[in-house]
Amino acid sequence: MSFLPKDYEKPASGGNYMKLEQGDNKLRIMSDAIVGWLDWDKTTGKPVPVRTKEKQAPLGEGKVKHFWAFIVFDYNEKRIKILEVTQSGIQNTIFSLHNDEQWGSPLNYDINVVRSGENLETKYQVLPSPPKEVAEDIKELYKGMNIDLEELFNGGDPFEKKISASEGMTTGIQKAKGNQALGMTGGSPLTEGEIDASNIQF
């Protein structure tokens, strides 16, 4: 009798940010990248990421890192996520592919980032697949998510859906009409370092 059920698979770790695990990390880039500088504020006990568009002096003894962030489809977990890349080796390879006439924009093909080793011996190999269209089910999953990468610079949540002024007004009008239909009145008014690249557009 087996300790674990037959065909058991360990549940995915979940989360909105893709973590590069040991072995294969197959992904499809779904958006242009934002680029900037990443530091950590450790004055509050729990380290808090601080991202800026321009390089700033370090907040502590650590090193400020150049980062890229973009939206991806994680094939392992079959989810839309954000991948933040600070490893210069990964950046350099994708940058080279981006500038290569035979490959071009990494939006046009799948990428497998293979991780091996541990700690200071960790290595990453970036392997592109032949160009192909994004699968329809992935397009459908991504459609309408409205992920705002710029929120990373504000310390906000890129996945938090925001209601535009026009959407908010429409919702308010609909609610008011509903209240009138129910004979209700009153209410409140509506209120409104490595790579020389200032912006990487895939």
pLDDT for residue 83? 98
Q: With a cut of 50, say whether residue 37 has pLDDT above it.
A: yes
pLDDT for residue 187? 39
pLDDT for residue 185? 42
Q: With a cut of 80, say whether residue 19 has pLDDT above it.
A: yes
HSE-CB at 125 with a 13 A cutoff on CA atoms is 8
**Is the separation of the CB atoms in 90 and 68 below 8 Å?**
no
pTM of the prediction?
0.76
- pLDDT tens by residue, 137-196: 999 999 989 999 999 999 999 999 765 554 454 444 454 454 454 454 443 333 334 555
pLDDT for residue 11? 55
pLDDT for residue 61? 87
**Alpha-carbon separation of residue 172 from 102, 124, 140 (angstroms):** 52, 51, 29
